[in-house]
Structure 1
Amino acid sequence: MAGLATTLNTANTGLQAQQAALNVTSHNVANADTVGYTRERAALQANGASAIGQDGPFGAQVGNGVTVSSIQRIRDVFLDYQVRAATSVKGTDETKDSYMTQIQSIMNEPSGTGLSSVIDTFYTNWQTLSKDPQSSNSRTLVAQQTKTLTDTLNDMYNKLQKLQTDSQTSLQNTVSDINNKLNQVDKLNQQIMDLKSAGTEPNDLMDQRDLLVDQLSEDFNLKSSPGNLESITLTAGDNLTAGSTLVNPTDSSSENRLAYISGIDKQADGSYNITYYKNGATSDANSKCTINATGLSDDQVKQLQENRVLWANSDGVAVDSSNNPIGTAPNYTTGSVTYTSTSAPLQLFTPSDGVLTGTTQVQQNIDKYTDDLNKLAKSIALSVNAIEEQSSTAEAAGADTTNDFFVDKNGGNENTITAGNITINTAILNDPSKIVASATATSGTTDGTRALAVAQSQNTLLNVQDITTSTTRSDLIGTGGLVLNSTTGVSAIANSSTGTTTGNYYSTTIDVLGEDAQKASKDLTNQTTIINSLTQTRASVSSVSIDEEMTNMIQFQHAYAANAKIISTVDSLLDVVVNGLMK
């Protein structure tokens, strides 16, 4: 009886183990298309053996069946690390490629309707005017083409600014999404630890957590470290500050989050009011905080404008280099910091890779190409104004005209001209006869020497690359000044030995843009190949294979049937024994 009961129990454990294995197979098949799901396997383990015969525990041994020791996730931690590292790099490349394509579209070069063509037509019309200076039609063409030129520059400038605003909005949304995902990882961590301590395998929750970590790795490079009870700790992959722990399973109060800078406004005293939102929650007025920063250099202001993401504590309050919140408790809605040559109190979050990094680099590119446009616009404006007024300084005493040809449409003087505000003087646009085409501004003159000088300035070598927001007409003309042509009686700008023509300067800008865009596209293609290979390798380990699961199902089915047959056989033997004793 005891022997048959042991056999019956052994077969019963086999039934239960195969049933569990079939359940796992069914779960795998059901989740074959579930994003982030990791295939599972029932780990079977033989039960301890029992002694038989008369020799006690040192005699013959017989097994007592099987048990399911655990339901294992089939996952390779090293492959996870490789995929996530590659995903961060792809996040950078993908973001840059997307925006560089849009910048190319804005620049629209090479094209018959691009800025290069518009500039060429602008100078050609001046050439035409020089041949027939008394023609009202030629003057009108110069005025209208100048308006076309300035409108083109304005449009390109505004589109670049719109693109930058869009990238900042994307950055803001990304920051908010990152914080939400970190909070979800934190919550899943606690649930996993609770279930694990209760003896349950929280595999599906671990899959959800790993999927979130995979998604976070696209935004920035991070490091995941295992802890007790299947918990994980997340930290930024590099550029660590005094507080860099994003998820801490044992102390959530020590965790860090990210804040988004929504505004950087210069004050009358030279300081800056920096507005940020806790956790990037710009829709919540209570999240708005303002920090007054003094001692900021132009480079530091630019860094804040381009990065816009701050390290913050677990409540979303911006922190200093010691991970202390900036401002006054309990709300920290206002605060003040002082920058020195060696300190930067506001801690920017600057990962080496990811969507955040790509967006920051894109904003740097937009700033660069906007600056190139500004330099081009200002160089054209100052050089044409100098020749038209025959003066190396704006509105100089004795100048033969008070009508600057190019002006700042917002009311500033020619020194404040940018690609965004450049326009033709309204007085000239409304009355093209005010264009000075001759050597003198005397009404009725018939030579077109001054118009010719403007046309020829297209080939003048100017220090366009050195133009800044404070550059004046005399700065651009330089030490060579205006050189008088004794034959025509018109002064023109002397060539600079270190200068370039406006056309060549813009051509170089377009060439650099093309190279940058090509590199971004090539980097993305290469990185996509790398990550596809790594993803396929990881999928071969962790993803569900229907063919494999069907094979396993057949194997478990046969094993289940064999165990059932043993139980049926033991039942027949027990019947023999019981019925035999009763006869």
Structure 2
Amino acid sequence: MGGMGSLYIGVSGLQTSQNALNTTAHNLANIGTDGYVRQQVVQSDTLYNTIKYGAVSLQQVGIGSTVAQVRQVRDIFLDQSYRLESGRSNYYDVTYNTYYEIESILGTLGGSEFSDSLDKLSDVFNSLSTDPSDTSVQTLLKQRASEFIEDAQNVYSLLKEYQNSLNDQVADTIDDINELANTINELNQKIELVEAGGVENANDLRDSRNSALDELAGLINISYSENSNGVVTVSAEGVPLVTTTSVNEMGYTIDDTTGFITPTWPDYKDKNVYNMNVEISTEKNTNVGKLKALLVQRGSDTADYSDIPVAEDYQDSSGNWTTGSWTIDGTTYTDGKSAYSAAKNYYDNNTSLSGMMNTLAEFDQLIHSVVTKINDILCPNTTMTVATGETWTDENGNTLTAGETYTCLDVDNCGQSADGTIGTELFSRGATDRYTKYTYTDTSGEVHTSYIYNEEDTTDINSMYTTENLKVNSTITDNVEKLPLYTSNGAVDYEKGLALYSAWTDKSVALNPNSTAKSSFQDYYSKLVDEVGNMGYLYKGYSDSQASTVSGLDDDRQMVIGVSSDEELSNMLRYQNAYNACSRYINVVSEMLETIITSLGRS
């Protein structure tokens, strides 16, 4: 190689060393920068000049070095593992936080626990059992009953508010997913533009894109791949989210009744993002992402006592399965056993999985059990079958159907108030009376009266003894002496007073179909709080375990992508030495050329 060509070898070394020093300085400047990935200079030979073609090999002369690539140092397998486990960690964080909030709501109500309200109501019934005719105790009962309903409605309202806040978070998370998807798409276009010439890598843009992928993976289960142009395509829950040229944004539908949001894919005929019927498991990766956890814990509806199947509702008084008509999850059943089995299966796979729905249902079941138990003691029911030829009518002209059996007030065994009024319940439904009065006049002109019980209809909240629909009977709030605490002959009904107090010690209600041991009202509430606490403890363990896994994977990633100041300073010294060596090489060649030129000039 000629002398001037030798100078180029040195210059190429200077340029290569300078580029390496710039990259090292860039690494050092970004120590501690979130999302930054260490960059590494890959040096290589430049093209060779071929002097002669030999029989065995080519005779070539190198013309220096060059920077082949400034690459990011990443491990794609660690990235994939980190992102998957990060999404799973977010799932359990949301689940744990939900149970933590529920426990806080159940445990504290204006500085006291809801159990205090139960105890106060129990205590007043204890006092009433001593002397049911004591008007001061009756007045206290009215007060405690009002406080009980108010406290119950406050708890139920707080639970619903938190459920609605989860729904708001669903909307926010969908917006975040779309924003990140658009960010990735924009970065794809910029990266493709920068790298199109094959001259340089858009490493800083790639850092931003990888940070967006990290964040997106925490919100929803994703898979992704990069094509030869440097464009990353992303699928979310198996559906393309970011394509090579565009974004299929996630949308949602809103339930007209609850206002609850369901994520959908508008570009795929509003297909639901999640199939909520698939079992939640690590093996199926159905426990990944903040969005999935929010949907599961929020649930599909605002639950009440009717969402907990009770075997007795499908059986007769002897415990035998009855026949009838029940619609469970869109399917109609006529056999009680099959209907209960379907209802329990629906509960296990839907209601019980949602922290909010299950707690709302179990809490409402407690309130429903308290009020119906007390009301049934004050106003016991029986049945009557309308005989052929009898025409029973109410004040609006409605008639009963001959041959049908109806539930009605047990006039023979019910109590009455001091003035002889019967059928006055303590707790009433908002817009539905307990009974409708029907009369029938026989052939002799005698008028018969029956008080037909207005059955609860789970499709009409106004007919249900559910927390939101309850109040203390206005007849009793106006006059406590309307309480039916006397026998039909006007004597004080001490047996009824004892029965009302015994209702609080009777083990009459089970927490759910999977916890069939029956409890008293106070014990039921304790079990409910314990269940929430145990679930919170369980998911706290899952959350901590996942956090540890994610932390370990992140540590492994940082060992690969992180910037070490010691290592970079060592590289800097090495590149500086290389730079100095190239400089000295150029000086030597320069002096040599000067000597040659000077010598030739003299000759």
The TM-score bracket by the shorter chain reads 0.7 to 0.9
Q: Could you tell me which amino acid in structure 1 is paired with residue 297 of structure 2?
A: V
Q: Which runs of 5+ in 1 are unaligned?
A: 267-274, 276-304, 322-341, 343-349, 468-496
Q: In structure 1, how many angstroms separate the alpha carbons of the residues matched to 2:408 and 2:474?
A: 17
Equivalence for 2:292: 357
Shift in Å, 1:258: 1.6
Equivalence for 1:543: 562
Equivalence for 1:263: 255
Query: Contact 2:39–2:71 (CA<8 Å) still a contact in 1?
Result: yes
Equivalence for 2:126: 127
Shift in Å, 1:7: 2.2
Shift in Å, 1:541: 0.3
Please, which moves more after superposition, 546-555 or 111-120? 111-120
Cα 1:351–1:176 change in 2 (3 A) is farther
Which of 262, 265, 277 is residue 308 of structure 1 equivalent to? 262
Equivalence for 2:77: 78
Q: In structure 1, how many angstroms separate the alpha carbons of the residues matched to 2:8 and 2:479?
A: 107
1:353-502 → structure 2 map (5 Å cutoff): 353-363=288-298, 364-392=354-382, 396=409, 398=411, 400=416, 401-409=422-430, 415=456, 416-440=464-488, 442=490, 445-446=491-492, 448-462=494-508, 499-502=518-521
Q: In the TM superposition, what whole-angstrom CA distance separates every residue of 1:351-387 from its partner, at most 9, and x where no partner exists?
A: 5411011112211221111111111111111110111
Q: In structure 2, how many angstroms separate the alpha carbons of the residues matched to 1:466 and 1:95?
A: 24
Q: In the TM superposition, what whole-angstrom CA distance separates every residue of 1:516-567 from its partner, at most 9, and x where no partner exists?
A: 1111111110000000000010011012122211111111111111111111
Query: Contact 2:264–2:272 (CA<8 Å) still a contact in 1?
Result: no
Q: In structure 2, how many angstroms separate the alpha carbons of the residues matched to 1:129 and 1:535?
A: 65
Equivalence for 1:512: 531
Shift in Å, 1:319: 4.2
Counterpart check, 1:577 vs 2:596: yes
Cα 1:12–1:392 change in 2 (3 A) is farther
Q: Could you tell me which amino acid in structure 2 is paired with residue 75 of structure 1?
A: R
Cα 1:87–1:59 change in 2 (3 A) is closer
Q: Could you tell me which amino acid in structure 1 is paired with residue 162 of structure 2?
A: L
Q: Could you tell me which amino acid in structure 2 is paired with residue 544 of structure 1?
A: V
Equivalence for 1:296: none
Cα 1:312–1:351 change in 2 (3 A) is farther
Equivalence for 1:346: none
Q: In structure 1, how many angstroms separate the alpha carbons of the residues matched to 2:132 and 2:53?
A: 128
Q: In structure 2, how many angstroms separate the alpha carbons of the residues matched to 1:149 and 1:219?
A: 41
Please, which moves more after superposition, 400-409 or 175-184? 400-409
1:231-242 → structure 2 map (5 Å cutoff): 231-237=231-237, 240=238
Aligned partner of residue 586 in structure 2, secondary structure: helix
Q: In structure 1, how many angstroms separate the alpha carbons of the residues matched to 2:58 and 2:377?
A: 114
Query: Contact 1:123–1:454 (CA<8 Å) still a contact in 2?
Result: no
Which of 548, 556, 561 is residue 575 of structure 2 equivalent to? 556
Cα 1:459–1:59 change in 2 (3 A) is closer
Q: In the TM superposition, what whole-angstrom CA distance separates every residue of 1:269-322 from its partner, at most 9, and x where no partner exists?
A: xxxxxx8xxxxxxxxxxxxxxxxxxxxxxxxxxxxx5x71112218xx62489x
Shift in Å, 1:3: 3.3
Shift in Å, 1:18: 0.5
Q: In structure 2, how many angstroms separate the alpha carbons of the residues matched to 1:50 and 1:56?
A: 17
Q: In structure 1, how many angstroms separate the alpha carbons of the residues matched to 2:489 and 2:49?
A: 119
Q: In structure 2, how many angstroms separate the alpha carbons of the residues matched to 1:42 and 1:351?
A: 41
Q: In structure 2, how many angstroms separate the alpha carbons of the residues matched to 1:54 and 1:135?
A: 122
Q: Percent identity?
A: 24
Q: Could you tell me which amino acid in structure 2 is paired with residue 529 of structure 1?
A: S
1:127-206 → structure 2 map (5 Å cutoff): 127-199=126-198, 200-206=200-206
Shift in Å, 1:406: 0.5
Shift in Å, 1:396: 2.6
Q: In structure 1, how many angstroms separate the alpha carbons of the residues matched to 2:257 and 2:600?
A: 100
Q: In structure 2, how many angstroms separate the alpha carbons of the residues matched to 1:169 and 1:410?
A: 31
Counterpart check, 1:318 vs 2:270: yes
Cα 1:507–1:52 change in 2 (3 A) is same
Q: Could you tell me which amino acid in structure 1 is paired with residue 506 of structure 2?
A: T
Superposition CA RMSD, Å = 3.1
TM-score by length of 1: 0.75
Cα 1:50–1:421 change in 2 (3 A) is same
Q: In structure 1, how many angstroms separate the alpha carbons of the residues matched to 2:216 and 2:291?
A: 11
Shift in Å, 1:452: 1.8
Aligned partner of residue 67 in structure 1, secondary structure: strand
Aligned partner of residue 2 in structure 2, secondary structure: helix
Q: Could you tell me which amino acid in structure 1 is paired with residue 494 of structure 2?
A: G
Q: Could you tell me which amino acid in structure 2 is paired with residue 246 of structure 1?
A: L
Equivalence for 2:89: 90
Q: In the TM superposition, what whole-angstrom CA distance separates every residue of 1:363-416 from its partner, at most 9, and x where no partner exists?
A: 122111111111111111111011112435887373542422001246676831
Counterpart check, 1:246 vs 2:246: no
Q: In structure 2, how many angstroms separate the alpha carbons of the residues matched to 1:235 and 1:565?
A: 55
Cα 1:119–1:3 change in 2 (3 A) is same
Cα 1:22–1:395 change in 2 (3 A) is same
Query: Contact 2:372–2:465 (CA<8 Å) still a contact in 1?
Result: no
Query: Contact 1:155–1:420 (CA<8 Å) still a contact in 2?
Result: no
Q: In structure 1, how many angstroms separate the alpha carbons of the residues matched to 2:53 and 2:118?
A: 108
Aligned partner of residue 256 in structure 1, secondary structure: coil
Q: In structure 2, how many angstroms separate the alpha carbons of the residues matched to 1:554 and 1:232?
A: 37
Shift in Å, 1:247: 1.4
Shift in Å, 1:24: 0.8
Q: In structure 1, how many angstroms separate the alpha carbons of the residues matched to 2:271 and 2:362?
A: 35
Q: Could you tell me which amino acid in structure 2 is paired with residue 318 of structure 1?
A: D
Cα 1:45–1:552 change in 2 (3 A) is same
Aligned partner of residue 264 in structure 1, secondary structure: coil
Q: In structure 1, how many angstroms separate the alpha carbons of the residues matched to 2:503 and 2:218?
A: 50
Q: Could you tell me which amino acid in structure 2 is paired with residue 249 of structure 1?
A: T
Q: In the TM superposition, what whole-angstrom CA distance separates every residue of 1:315-340 from its partner, at most 9, and x where no partner exists?
A: xx62489xxxxxxxxxxxxxxxxxxx
Q: In structure 2, how many angstroms separate the alpha carbons of the residues matched to 1:439 and 1:580?
A: 139
Q: Could you tell me which amino acid in structure 1 is paired with residue 213 of structure 2?
A: V
Aligned partner of residue 29 in structure 1, secondary structure: helix
Q: In structure 2, how many angstroms separate the alpha carbons of the residues matched to 1:33 and 1:24?
A: 16
Q: Which runs of 5+ in 2 are unaligned?
A: 278-284, 299-353, 384-406, 417-421, 435-453, 457-463
Cα 1:112–1:257 change in 2 (3 A) is closer
Q: What count of residue pairs does the alignment treat as equivalent?
A: 476
Cα 1:501–1:192 change in 2 (3 A) is same
Counterpart check, 1:529 vs 2:483: no
Q: In structure 1, how many angstroms separate the alpha carbons of the residues matched to 2:160 and 2:69?
A: 57
Query: Contact 1:438–1:451 (CA<8 Å) still a contact in 2?
Result: no
Q: In structure 1, how many angstroms separate the alpha carbons of the residues matched to 2:287 and 2:53?
A: 72
Query: Contact 1:246–1:256 (CA<8 Å) still a contact in 2?
Result: yes
